[in-house]
Amino acid sequence: MDRKCGLSLIEVLMAVLLVSVLATVAIPAFTNFTKDARVQVTKERMDVIKRAIVGDPRLVSNGQYVQPGYEAQVGALPGTLTDLVTICGTCSGYNVYTKTGWRGPYVSNVTGWNQDAWGQSFTYSSGSRTLTSRGPDQTLGTSDDIIFTF
């Protein structure tokens, strides 16, 4: 018996067609997954900065806030986000008796701490008490901006 094993041209074309259809469906799904992950990372970074500024009301011990934040300790909002990691020129050092003054850094000074997941710096406004990311399109003032108000 002389049998030849192999695939016919029709079988190969069907396999290629099936892989093409699967790739067409899967690629957009993974693209959306990446965008959603970046949005989530950005929101988490913004939440860390917000808690560094206003404190974390969830952490209380003996009736005292464990992490009161920049605003409670210094008595004002930071002028820039940099004030969270370096003492500002007008800030006084921490006073252990009154428990006031700059007692930072309030966030980890790791590279990119003040940037969203797309590498853009957050826009901070102490006047309107907002922290803004440009979002996926990396353009400020569009509908996909991520805004935290505190």
User: What CATH class is the domain 9-149?
Assistant: alpha beta
Structure tokens at 41: 């990372």
pLDDT at 72: 83
Render pLDDT for 92-143 as a digit per residue (tens, 0 to 9).
777 777 777 888 788 987 888 999 999 999 999 989 999 999 999 989 999 9
pLDDT at 1: 58
CA 79 to mean position of chain CA atoms:
20
Single out the residue of 65, 114, 67 nearest to residue 86, CA to CA.
114
Which run of H or of E encompasses 49?
helix 9-54
Render pLDDT for 51-99 as a digit per residue (tens, 0 to 9).
999 888 776 667 666 678 888 888 889 989 988 888 876 677 777 777 7
Q: How confident is the model at residue 28 (pLDDT cuts 50, 70, 90)?
A: confident
Domain boundaries defined on the chain: 9-149
**Is 93 in a helix, a strand, or coil?**
strand
C-beta separation of 102 from 73 below 8 A: yes
pLDDT at 59: 66
Q: How confident is the model at residue 27 (pLDDT cuts 50, 70, 90)?
A: confident
C-beta separation of 56 from 78 below 8 A: no
Q: How confident is the model at residue 15 (pLDDT cuts 50, 70, 90)?
A: very high
Question: What is the model's pTM?
Answer: 0.72
pLDDT at 60: 63
